[in-house]
Every structure is written in structure tokens, then in C-alpha cells.
Structure 1
Amino acid sequence: MYVKCGKVSDARCIFDELCDVDLVSWTAMVVGYTQKGCPIEALKLFSDKKWTDIIPNSVTIASALSASAQLKDLFFGKSVHALGFKLGFEEYDVMKNALVDMYAKCCKMLEAKYIFESVFQKNVVTWNVMMAGYSQNNFGYEALSLFRQMQTAGCSPDAITVVSALSASACLGALHVGCSLHVYAMKHAFLSNVYVSTALLNFYNKCGDANSARSIFNEMNERNTVTWCAMMGGYGVQGDSADSIALFSKMLEEKLSPNDVTFTNILSACSHTGMVSEGQKYFNIMLRDHGITPSMKHYACMVDMLARAGWLEDALKFIERMPMQPEVNVWGAFLHGCRIHSRLDLGEMAAKRVIELHPETADYYVLVTNFYSLMGMWTEADEVRRLMKGRRLNKSPGLSFVSLDNGLSYVLHSHGNQDTDLLCSFS
């Protein structure tokens, strides 16, 4: 009862007082922790040696997989997968759906696809977890293709499906696809769902249609923190930091707690408009006033803000004082600033760090090549291209959308060979 009401702490107190813990009570507690967003507690309970005499069922296994997915803990997820296989739950739909979700959240899309394709009778949950996986991993056209396949297979999309399809459209900047999904959502009465409306305004923001995004935001009867974040992010991308900051203040007035994404959007807005002192203020109040520990994304936003403004020495000092090792997004932001302000001395160092951190990612080689080319360092640019070729890395192919027979098609462009362009369509 306490678990179903979301009172996980109260449920745990009662659980700890039980003289005889059985499979039902143990599973209920693991499920409760997972659903409440407490994956560490869920996995601690799942792996506690006190309960080794209890054999988990398919629901326990699925919950442990979901907790692993929340933590993006591939090692633990694989261990649970092996246990589920050993116990004979491999063919259970609840386990397969959880496996697709776990592998997708751990960025293992080939494994997720393999399991997805092994499901004989796919229900809406199966389609949704695979679509969400593609969308979250920036495989936008695969997600949209799946949206069509789902309907062809006779499975009706629900609100969650539409959210994933809108996210994929936003990722691709496919305005016509998103507009079609907007009509679909209206037709099927999904717009009252806060998650659908939020995904829709986020889509319009990312496609540069600020008026449509603002209209949806103003018409929403219910807004959550994610909704406010999406609208703030939209203002920030448009360079309207004043409205972004005003929206943040209004959000606080409505007693909504900001999260890490809220601050990512605010810092990004300050970065794009050169509001350095305001950005520094918001970075400082994250932990002090709201208890949010800055993540790598927040540090990258700060470096981007300082570097864009030309404060490159300050940006470098900021990187050196970071409490964790800076990742490629931090050095990439710094390199971008060096490129804007033609700082060859600092840019060369950043370029080396970018390639050292991601030697197998083609896009970063392109970033470094562009920097060297802009600086007129043609020999160095050619050297990076040769290194890229030697490692058999290719830049991601282009993607275009065209209207075709009242539907929408996308074309994957190969490198200079018109005959190998791939045309795919859905309606």
C-alpha cells in the first residue's frame, strides 16, 4: 500500500520489521524504489546477500534492469540479464522490454535492436521503448521509421510514442514531420497530456518556430519543470536571454523547483548573449541555494560562455579548477571560442585534447580540421584528415526531407555518389 502511494521510506520501515520476507514483499520493495527513481537503493536491495534464498521472478528481474537503465550501469544490467536468462525469463515480454530499455539507455543500440526484433508479438510498450532508445541516442530517422512500422503492424501509437516521434523530429530539424505529428496529437486528443505538449513546444523551439512554441506554452493548463525548462531553452537558443531569465523567476514564483536542466538552459542563454556576470551568478546559486551539484554540462556551458565572450584565459583557469577531469564537450567549447577569437596558441592545445579524448569520433576531427583551416594551417588540417582516413572514420552523411505524395520522405546522402543515396518515406 505504501509503495503504491509513493511512500517508499514508510514502506521500507515496515519491510525492515518483517519477520518473514518473501518474494512478494521483496519484489514490491525493489519495484517501489525503481518507480520512485531510487535506482541505487533498488539495486542494493536486489543484491543484498540477506535475500539470496529468495529466487526472483520476472517482475523482480525487470525492475532490476530498469534500475540499471536509470543508472546507465551496463555491467550490472548485463549481470541481471544473465540471471534472468539462467532463470528462464528470456522469453518473457516484461523482461525483453526492460532489456531493450536498459541497453538503449546504455547506448548499446545494436543489442537493443537484436532483443526488440526477437519479440514475436510486440505491444505498444515494446515499440515505445525501442523508439525512445533511438530518439534518446540521436537516431532520429530510425525512430520515425519505427513510428510508421508500428502503425503498419496494427499497433496504435499512444502519448509516449508521440513524445518519442516529436523528439526525433526535433533532433532532425524536420519541421514538416513535427507539424504532421502535431495534427496527429490533436486528432487523437493527446495535447492535454503535459508530456506531449512539452515535447511539441520543445520541437518548435528547436526548429526555430518561436511563435508556435510560445503559443503552446501559453495554452497549457498543466506545466511541469520540464515544460518550463523547454521554454527557457527555446528563448536561450533564440538569443532572448531576458525572457529566459524572466521565465526562470516566474517559475520560482509558482513554487516549482528548478533542476539541473533548468540551469543548463539558463547558462546556455547567458552564453549565447554574452551575459557573463549573470551566468556566473546563476552558476554560483545552483549548489548554494538549490542544492544542485554542477555537472559536466554546466561546466561546459560556463566554458562556452567565457570563451565566446573572449575571456579565454579565464575559461582556461576555470577548466583547470574543475573538480573532475574535463570531458570533450568542455574542450570543444573552449576550442570553439579560440576559433571565434583567432587564438591559435590556446586552440592548438584544445584541438589535441579533443582528439585525445575521442579518437574514434569523426565529428571531432572535423571540428579540429575546421579550426586549423580557419587559422590558415593547411598542413595541420591535412594531417588531421589523413589521421581520420587512416582510422577509417567518416563524417555522418547528410539528411534532407522532401514532400512526396502527401507524405514525407528523407534522403540519406552518401559522399558524392548520387546512385547510393537512400530514399526512405513514411506518411
Structure 2
Amino acid sequence: MLGWLIHAGSHADAVALHGDMQRRGPAAAQADVVLSLALKACVRSADFGYGRRLHCTVVTAGGADSFVMNCLVDMYAKAGDLETARKVFDRVPDRNVVSWTSMLSGSIQNGFAEEGLVLFNEMRKDSVDPSEYTMASVLSACAMLAGLHQGRWIHGSVIKHGFSANSFVSASLLDMYAKCEKVEDARRVFDELESVDLVLWTAMIVRYTQNKCPLDALQLFLHKKFASIVPGSFTIPAVISASAQLRNLSLGRSIHGIGVKLGTMESAMVRNALVDMYAKCQALPDANSIFERILIKDVVAWNSMMAGYSENGMANESLVLFNQMRMQGLSPDAISVVNAISACVCLADLHVGKSFHTYTVKYAFMSDIYVNTALLNLYNKCADLLSAQRIFNDMTDRNSVTWSAMIGGYGMQGDLAGSIGIFNEMLKDNVHPNEVVFTSILSACSHTGMVTAGKEYFDSMARHFNITPSMKHYACMVDVLARAGNLEEALEFIQNMPMKASISVWGSFLHGCKLHSRLEFGEEAIKKLAGLHPETPDFCVLMSNLYNSYGRWDKSQNIRRWMQEQGLVKLPGCSSIGHDNG
């Protein structure tokens, strides 16, 4: 009867039944098989209090077999009591793979990934062969630590033990490589699978979207090889997210339609993804319509709508939503706070921003790296470098975005020495600069007119740091040259690029032409931009303004008229010309 209740998912009833058995016939209730079933029921119903009482029963009875002891290890680990779990584990007479897996997976699930890997090595020294569950747990530890080297070694062990075909292990491999930012390796694992089910197919799509590879996610979603797999309530939001990353409204609407046909609209994940997609695609009425139809809005829904307002130049509305969310009894999370502070950045409202800084201290958000980075951006935007530096100095955890924000902050205030000082401090901390950091340092050179320094940092990317400059870096370098008035050199630089110059590159060049009133060069940039069909209003406004400054009203009006026909509207707040931060 006990086993039947557990099989049926009635775990609380199983615990209650065992309690009755204890009162009526203790001997039967304390049999090892019955105890192990009761402990499983305790874990699945989260009734750890009764589980602890069963442990007392085991101790009073003089102990139990390894099976019961393994169940106790698992129960304490699931309860988050790793200290007691380890004490029980050390008393297991004949530790087998279940004992080791329970202990190491419990450590990993409680956030002690390194301890889990240590236990795995101890298990190997004990000559205990791992199971599929062991491998999946250890791979999750590698994912948590972004430990690519250990992960590759475990992958080799997976192949050696013949676990490659196991879907649970395969999903863990995909996750590990994706968390280590090796999505190509994750795809290789996926392509080597003999059979792919909904879980694995969705897992690969999700990993693509999480690693900002939306085109790959969509190609996999649409691949005819997987046409027989019906997308689920986890697949649809991942593909909607890919559409959002591409800012492709038409595609997003199509996926929305598929979601409706498949009956996934009751999923909170799907609805929240739709709010985010429509907001990112500047279809705020659609985003708001879905948001308002959500009867029970979770914090993710509120965050998506808040971010959507800020991204569409409606930062005040974003702050109103933050207050509405609190009035409805929801506690903002770190993302909510980041959204609110980001709205203050768009408004350049230091007074309101400082009130949110106070809020973050009061509600213990200051340990969150993203909240701190948002505050850095606020103080940098509002020219309060002293406060920005104070926050930066107090941070115990910094990432590339944090360093970049501080480098960029000094650059925006024309303090290249400060930017270089932060860059050098980063190197002393043994932090390897990435593409984002170089974008910030090049922008700092641009804002301070330091052409020679800009050239040196650009050249050092490949020479000293093994980083191939991206289109964004080329645009930054053009901005460095063009802002300084070196338009001939900037044009030559563009012509010698190893790839075709993008809209952002020509936009940076055009901005320099406008600054230095060089219409002859500006018209060259306008021709190139027209050929690239820019749909970004900032560039169109820049072209129009350049003609205005030379009294070419007819051409200026033509551009403005075309913008109206295309529905292009210049949003207030931040320019989408990435290097015009001043």
C-alpha cells in the first residue's frame, strides 16, 4: 500500500500511512524496505520533520542497511542539512554508487559545486563506477563553475562508460557547454545523438537563445528533421525570445500564432516571453494588451513590461509600473531594481536614482552585481564620478560589464587617464579584457580626442589579447578618427576593413562629418548608408541635420518625409548611435 501511494504521487498520504503503521505495529513499520519507502515519501512531500523522527527510530534500533542509510543521506541533502548528510554518509557501511551520488548531488544542489567534484574524485579513488545520475550531477557542477576543462574531462568519462545515449546525461552536457559559452560544442553533442526527443530539442534551442544565437535557435526550430516533434510550453517561449533578440516583429507574431494553436497560452513563461518580444519590437500596445490579460502577474511579467517601456523611451511609465507592482503586494527582485535604475539613467534623473540607491541598500540588493552595475551607469550618466567610483570600490564581485561601465564613465567625462587607470587596475586583478571592455576604452579615447591612444588599444586587441576586432570595434575606431577631424584617415580605414562596413561604421563617419561640417565626405557616407537601407531613425535624423546645416532643405525634407512613410520615430533618451554617448 505504501509503495502504491508513492507511485501514485500521494506522498503526504504515504507519510501519514507510515505514521499509522508505527502506532499499530512498529515492527513492520521499521523493516528496512518499509523505512526506505517512508523516507522517499518524506523527501517528495518535503516532510523532513517526520524524516528526522525516522532517523531517530533507525538509531534506536541499532542501525539499518545501506539502502536505508542512502535514503537518509538523500533526505538530509534535499533538506539542505549537508552537515548531517555527511555524518550519515560517513557511517554507511558499504558505500555504493547510490551513496556517493546522493552525497555529491546533494552538495551540488545546495550550491557547493566544488565539494561535489571533490566527492566525485574520492568516489573514483574508492573504485566505484559512476552511474548516469552521477555523471549528470557532476556535469551540472561544471556548468555552475563554468569549468570547461573539468567538463571536457567528464565528457570523456561519459563516452568511456557508454552514457552518451542517455538523454538526461546529454541534456547535462548541452547545459555544461552552453554555460561555458561553448555553444558550438553543445551543438556537436546534439548532432551526435542517435535520437532526439522534445526535451533535448528544446534544450538546444534554449541554449542558443541564452547564448544570444537567435538565428541558430530559429534554424533548429524550423529544421525539417525535427518536424515530427510538437513544440511544448518550454519550446515556444525560447523561440519567441529568439524573435525578440532579432527585433523581428513579423516572426514573433507567427510564433505567437503557433503558440495559440498548440494551446500554450496558459503558460506564464509563454505570456511573459510575448510581453518581452512585443516590447522589444516596439509594439507596446500588443505588449500591454497581453500584460493586462494576465490575471495573476508574476514579477517576470512586470519586469518585462518595465524594461519594454524604458527601451521605447517611456522611462516614466516604467517607474510608474514599479510602484504599481509594489502596491499590488509583489516584492521587486534584482531585475526589477535594475529596470527602475535604468529608467532613471534614461531620464538622467539623479534625484530619483538616488532614492533607488537607498532602496537597494534597505532591501539588501547591493550584493547583486547587476544592481551595482546599473548604479554605476546612473552616476556615470549624471556625471557623479565620485559616487560611481565609491560603488565600484565597494564591489566584491566584478564582471566585464562592470569594468566597462567604469572605464566608460571616465571616458564620458573626458578623463582618459581615469579610463586607462581602471583598465590597468583590471589587468592587475588578472582579469582578461574582452570585447566589451575594448568597446568602452575605445569610446573613451573617442570622447577625449586621443587618436594615438585609440590606435594603440585597437592594435593591441589582436596583438596582445588575441581578440579579433568586431564590427563594433571598427565603428569605435572610425568614431575616434572622425570625431578628431581625421576624416580622410577614417575613410581610408573604412576602405581597408577586412569586411564590408556596416551601418554603424558609416554612421560614426557621418557623425564626424556633421561635427566638422564636411559635407563632401558626409555625402559619401550618406550614399553608403542609403545602400545599406538603414531603418534606424538616429542615422536618418543625422543625415537630415547634415543637409540642414548646409541649407540643403529639399534633401533634408526628403529624408524626413521618407522617415514618416516608414514609421520611423526618433525616441527620446539614448541615441542608438552606439558611440555618441556624450
TM-score using structure 2 length: 0.60
Report if the CA contact (8 A) 1:228-1:247 is conserved.
yes
Q: CA deviation at 1:330?
A: 3.2
Kindly indicate which of the two structures has a greater share of residues assigned to strand. Answer: 1
**Residue identity matched to 1:384:** S
**Closer/same/farther in 2, CA of residues 4 and 131 from structure 1, 3 Å limit:** farther
Matched, 1:384 2:547: no
Match of 1:314 in 2: 489
2:229 match: secondary structure: coil
Larger RCO, structure (CA 8 Å, separation 6 or more): 1
Match of 1:160 in 2: 335
Match of 1:116 in 2: 291
Cα displacement string for residues 157-177 of structure 1 (whole angstroms, at most 9, x for unaligned residues): 211011011112112211112
* Structure 1 spans left out of the alignment, 5+ residues: 400-427
- Which of structures 1 and 2 has the bigger CA Rg? 2
Match of 1:222 in 2: 397
Report if the CA contact (8 A) 1:264-1:298 is conserved.
yes
Count the aligned residue pairs.
Answer: 396
Report if the CA contact (8 A) 2:256-2:274 is conserved.
yes
Cα displacement string for residues 28-48 of structure 1 (whole angstroms, at most 9, x for unaligned residues): 454455446565665555444
Match of 1:284 in 2: 459
Mapping for residues 342-381 of structure 1, pairs under 5 Å: 342-350=517-525, 364=539, 366-368=541-543, 370-372=545-547, 374=549, 377-378=550-551, 380-381=552-553
Match of 1:65 in 2: 240
1:250 to 425, 437, 444: 425
Quote the Cα distance in structure 1 between the aligned partners of 2:235 and 2:442: 40
Q: Identity of paired residues, percent?
A: 54
**Closer/same/farther in 2, CA of residues 9 and 291 from structure 1, 3 Å limit:** farther
1:10 to 173, 184, 200: 173
Matched, 1:210 2:385: yes
Report the more deviating stretch, 169-178 or 35-44: 35-44
Mapping for residues 64-143 of structure 1, pairs under 5 Å: 64-70=239-245, 72=247, 77-143=252-318
2:324 to 120, 127, 149: 149
Quote the Cα distance in structure 1 between the aligned partners of 2:230 and 2:426: 47
Report if the CA contact (8 A) 1:355-1:364 is conserved.
no
1:242 match: secondary structure: helix
Quote the Cα distance in structure 1 between the aligned partners of 2:268 and 2:328: 17
Q: CA deviation at 1:268?
A: 0.8
1:239 match: secondary structure: coil
**Closer/same/farther in 2, CA of residues 281 and 110 from structure 1, 3 Å limit:** farther
**Residue identity matched to 2:560:** M
**Closer/same/farther in 2, CA of residues 286 and 111 from structure 1, 3 Å limit:** farther
Q: CA deviation at 1:91?
A: 3.1
Report the more deviating stretch, 236-245 or 51-60: 51-60
**Closer/same/farther in 2, CA of residues 105 and 187 from structure 1, 3 Å limit:** same
Mapping for residues 255-270 of structure 1, pairs under 5 Å: 255-270=430-445
Report the more deviating stretch, 235-244 or 150-159: 150-159
**Residue identity matched to 1:274:** G
1:222 match: secondary structure: coil
Report if the CA contact (8 A) 1:271-1:305 is conserved.
yes
Report if the CA contact (8 A) 1:225-1:259 is conserved.
yes
2:234 match: secondary structure: helix
Match of 1:423 in 2: none
Quote the Cα distance in structure 2 between the aligned partners of 1:225 and 1:68: 26
Quote the Cα distance in structure 1 between the aligned partners of 2:510 and 2:193: 58
Match of 2:364 in 1: 189
Q: CA deviation at 1:314?
A: 0.7
Cα displacement string for residues 51-101 of structure 1 (whole angstroms, at most 9, x for unaligned residues): 433323201222333344445565654443332222111232111112222
**Closer/same/farther in 2, CA of residues 114 and 355 from structure 1, 3 Å limit:** farther
**Closer/same/farther in 2, CA of residues 381 and 15 from structure 1, 3 Å limit:** closer
Report if the CA contact (8 A) 2:313-2:571 is conserved.
no
Q: CA deviation at 1:313?
A: 0.5
Report if the CA contact (8 A) 1:355-1:365 is conserved.
no
Report if the CA contact (8 A) 1:287-1:293 is conserved.
yes
Match of 1:170 in 2: 345
* Structure 2 spans left out of the alignment, 5+ residues: 1-135, 144-150, 152-170, 175-185, 574-582
Report if the CA contact (8 A) 1:370-1:381 is conserved.
no
Cα displacement string for residues 257-303 of structure 1 (whole angstroms, at most 9, x for unaligned residues): 33322111111111122221221222233345445443443222212
Quote the Cα distance in structure 2 between the aligned partners of 1:32 and 1:327: 28
Q: CA deviation at 1:351?
A: 5.1
2:296 match: secondary structure: coil
Quote the Cα distance in structure 1 between the aligned partners of 2:195 and 2:562: 63
Report if the CA contact (8 A) 1:306-1:314 is conserved.
yes
**Residue identity matched to 1:388:** R
TM-score using structure 1 length: 0.79
Matched, 1:301 2:476: yes
Report if the CA contact (8 A) 1:365-1:384 is conserved.
no
Report the more deviating stretch, 100-109 or 217-226: 100-109
Report if the CA contact (8 A) 2:313-2:572 is conserved.
no
Q: CA deviation at 1:181?
A: 1.0
Q: CA deviation at 1:245?
A: 1.9
Quote the Cα distance in structure 2 between the aligned partners of 1:19 and 1:363: 49
Quote the Cα distance in structure 2 between the aligned partners of 1:45 and 1:145: 39
Report if the CA contact (8 A) 1:287-1:294 is conserved.
yes
**Residue identity matched to 1:240:** D
Quote the Cα distance in structure 2 between the aligned partners of 1:124 and 1:309: 46
Report if the CA contact (8 A) 1:131-1:143 is conserved.
yes
**Residue identity matched to 1:127:** W
Quote the Cα distance in structure 2 between the aligned partners of 1:201 and 1:306: 28
**Closer/same/farther in 2, CA of residues 24 and 304 from structure 1, 3 Å limit:** closer
Q: CA deviation at 1:223?
A: 1.0
1:58 match: secondary structure: coil
Quote the Cα distance in structure 2 between the aligned partners of 1:100 and 1:15: 30
**Closer/same/farther in 2, CA of residues 177 and 355 from structure 1, 3 Å limit:** farther
